[in-house]
Amino acid sequence: MTAAAAAPHVPAPVPAAGPDSVESTPVVTTAGTAGGTAAGATGGTAAGTTGSTAAGTSATAAAGTGTGIGAGLYRSVMRQHAKGVAVITAGEDTAPPHGFCATSLTSVSLDPPLVSFTVGLHAASWPAVEAARHVAVHLLTDAQEDTARRFAHGGPAKFGRATRWHRGAHGLPVLDDALASLIVSVVQVMPVGDHALVIGRVVEAALTPAPARPLIHHDGAFAHLAFPSDGP
């Protein structure tokens, strides 16, 4: 049955990204950020066409110059791309746990099973990810919106009392109650623009035994899925 994204569960948008607001630079999608895209990618606006930004201003892609579109228009366009919400964690064995909220998670290959995500080169979690041999990937349920907000911001609250987690395979910090979780062996890390693209091989996977729905991010706010069978 076809599912449609309901109105945002919390109408107030997540705070805009800035230094240290969302892991310093967001692969994390929060209000005003262009999450979920390959780092440094430029918009595909045809040369000479004009797009309208959220503020009502317009921007025109430079024809044949390779400069692309303005950051404001790019963010406005990418905010319209609804995405699932994931939390990536790192810190093996006795290393301190690190993590960030991401909407850039992508399935890359079935054979071998590969996924990718991006992380800002100035993000607080970047050094831990750069050094990691393995990371844990968690797909959040719509009941974990508070968890998503904690991991979308810097600070020690990420792994505080409000977050249920344990040490799993390879000593990685693993969140409890996620919709699904993956243990990923890092295969390749490459700088792309102002982010790093991380490609990893899935070595373990688990699904929650209880029925659950994914948390969605769209237009700067978290949203929940609604199905026709849910009724009015």
% of the chain at pLDDT higher than 90: 63
Q: What is the pLDDT of residues 86-96, one digit of tens each?
A: 999 999 999 99
How far apart (Å, rounded) are the C-alpha atoms in residues 99 and 190?
19
Over residues 197-214, mean pLDDT = 94
Over residues 124-142, mean pLDDT = 97
Per-residue b or e along 179-207, where b marks 16 or more CB atoms closer than 10 Å to that residue's CB: bbbbbbebeeeeeeeebbbbbbbbeeeee
Per-residue confidence (pLDDT) for residue 154, from 0 to 100: 76
Kindly report the number of other CB atoms within 10 A of residue 208's CB atom.
Answer: 14
How far apart (Å, rounded) are the C-alpha atoms in residues 198 and 106?
10
Task: Give, in order, the Cα–Cα distances in Å from 36 to each of 57, 89, 112, 147, 190.
Answer: 24, 17, 23, 18, 16
82-224: in CATH 2.30.110.10: yes
Q: What is the pLDDT of residues 76-112, one digit of tens each?
A: 999 999 999 999 999 999 999 999 999 999 999 999 9
Per-residue confidence (pLDDT) for residue 29, from 0 to 100: 35
Alpha-carbon dihedral 37, 41, 46, 49, rounded to 10 degrees: 80
User: Domain map of the chain by residue range?
Assistant: 82-224
Q: For the chain, give the number of residues.
A: 232
pTM greater than 0.75 (yes/no):
no
| Weakest mean pLDDT among 18-22, 53-57, 171-175, 209-213 | 18-22
